[in-house]
Amino acid sequence: MRSLYSLAAVLLAAVANAVSSSGDRLLVILEDVAEKAAYSKFLADLEGRGFDIVYETPKSESLNLFNLGEKSYDHILLLPTKAKGLGPNLTPNVLLDFMNAQGNILVALTSSTSASTSIVSLLNELDIQLPTERTGLVVDHFNYDVTSAAEKHNVLLLPTPGSLRPGVKDMFSPAAPNGELIAFPNSVGQTLGSGALLAPVLRAPSTAYSYNPKEENEAIDDLFASGQQLSLVTTMQARNSARFGVIGSAESLTDKWFDAKVKKVGEKSSVKTLNQEFAKAVSGWVFNEIGVLRVNSIEHHLNEAGASNISNPKIYRIKNDVTYSIDISEFSWGKWLPFTLPESDELQLEFSMLSAFHRLNLAVSDSDEDSTTYSASFKLPDQHGIFNFLVNYKRPFYSNIEEKNTVSVRHFAHDEWTRSFAISGAWPWLAGILATSTGWLAFCAIWLYSKPVSAAAQGTKKTQ
Q: Which CATH number fits domain 14-214+223-288: 3.30.420, 3.30.530, 3.30.1380, 3.40.50?
A: 3.40.50
What's the pLDDT tens digit per position in 51-77?
A: 999 999 998 888 999 999 999 999 999
Please report the pLDDT score of residue 212 as a whole number.
80
Distances in Å between the Cα of 54 and the Cα atoms of 42, 69, 287 are 14, 20, 15
Residue range(s) in the chain whose domain bears CATH number 2.60.40.10: 292-410
Q: Of the candidates 404, 390, 413, which has an alpha carbon nearest to the alpha carbon of residue 320? A: 413
Name which residue leads in pLDDT, 189 or 456: 189
* 164/172 Cα distance (integer angstroms): 8
Task: Check: CB of residue 192 under 8 Å from CB of residue 200.
Answer: yes
Please report the pLDDT score of residue 361 as a whole number.
96
* Amino acid present at 79: L
Examine the pLDDT at 153 and tell me if it is beyond 50.
yes
Please report the pLDDT score of residue 343 as a whole number.
84
Task: Check: CB of residue 295 under 8 Å from CB of residue 373.
Answer: no
**8-12, 116-120, 138-142, 445-449: least confidently modelled range:** 8-12
**150-164, 213-227, 377-391: least confidently modelled range:** 213-227
Examine the pLDDT at 163 and tell me if it is beyond 80.
no
What's the pLDDT tens digit per position in 217-232?
A: 555 666 788 889 999 9
What's the pLDDT tens digit per position in 279-299?
A: 999 999 999 999 999 999 999
Give mean pLDDT, residues 334-352. 93
Residue 132's pLDDT band (cuts 50, 70, 90) = confident
Name which residue leads in pLDDT, 452 or 159: 159
Measured in degrees and rounded to the nearest 5, phi and psi for residue 184 equal -125, 90
| Buried/exposed 446-462: b ≥16 CB within 10 Å, e otherwise | eeeeeeeeeeeeeeeee
Q: Which CATH class is domain 292-410?
A: mainly beta
Residue 197 is given by DSSP the state T
Residue 113's pLDDT band (cuts 50, 70, 90) = confident
SS3 253: helix
Please report the pLDDT score of residue 4 as a whole number.
43
Please report the pLDDT score of residue 418 as a whole number.
81
The pTM assigned to this predicted structure is 0.84
What's the pLDDT tens digit per position in 397-413?
A: 999 999 999 999 999 98
Q: What secondary structure does DSSP assign to 416-437, as a single string?
A: GSPPGGG-GGGHHHHHHHHHHH
Q: Regarding beta strands 75-78 and 25-29, do their DSSP bridges make them parallel or antiparallel, or are they unpaired?
A: parallel
Residue range(s) in the chain whose domain bears CATH number 3.40.50: 14-214+223-288
Examine the pLDDT at 175 and tell me if it is beyond 90.
no
Examine the pLDDT at 14 and tell me if it is beyond 70.
no
Q: Regarding beta strands 208-211 and 137-140, do their DSSP bridges make them parallel or antiparallel, or are they unpaired?
A: antiparallel
Mean pLDDT (the chain, rounded): 87
* Amino acid present at 241: S
* 345/350 Cα distance (integer angstroms): 16
